[in-house]
Homo-oligomer: A and B are copies of this chain.
Amino acid sequence: MKLHFLTKHKQTILYGISLAVLLLLLKWLEWQLLIFHHALEIYIGAIALIFTCLGIWLALKLARPKVTTVVIEKKVPDSGDPFTINHRELEKLGLSNRELEVLQLMAAGLSNQEIAARLFVSLNTIKTHSSNLFIKMDVKRRTQAVDMARKLRIIP
């Protein structure tokens, strides 16, 4: 039981010991201060330095690592079919017809102005559609939207 406790909390115990050593060091520094009365600035500086390092160390040790999810497409050899639309992903996004059209024209490299002309609507309409589809796809830019759409096989 005791041994298990030791092994399990080895980390914590080590931290505790380190802290104790640190406090001893501070006490020693304080004692030094009594001898060299004009070393206050040095003492303060040392304290600052030590605790800055402590803070950095704490942050690095304890901060939870950021988790990023990366979708990697595993290619599966498949017969001839070059491209089939992934209807499941498409429905999951909830894009409307018009938004999908705009997305496809974006992927072809058209500007909003050109898309508007192609679809016989105003530039503002295209901006609205694009903004909405960016929100639905959770992206910030058209290039991201196109990239994601390709990865999800929504567009060729």
Contacts and interface: CB of A to CB of B under 8 A. Distances in A.
Interface size class of A (residues with CB under 8 A): 35 or more
A70 B72 CA distance: 6
A82 B65 CA distance: 33
Interface string A65-96: 11111111111111111101000000000000
25 contacts: A26-B44, A47-B48, A49-B51, A51-B55, A53-B55, A54-B55, A59-B59, A63-B66, A66-B66, A66-B67, A67-B67, A70-B71, A70-B72, A71-B74, A73-B73, A74-B75, A75-B82, A76-B153, A77-B78, A77-B84, A108-B143, A108-B147, A109-B146, A110-B143, A146-B146
Task: Please name the 3 residue pairs, one residue from A and one from B, whose CB atoms are nearest each other, closest first.
Answer: A55-B55, A109-B144, A59-B59
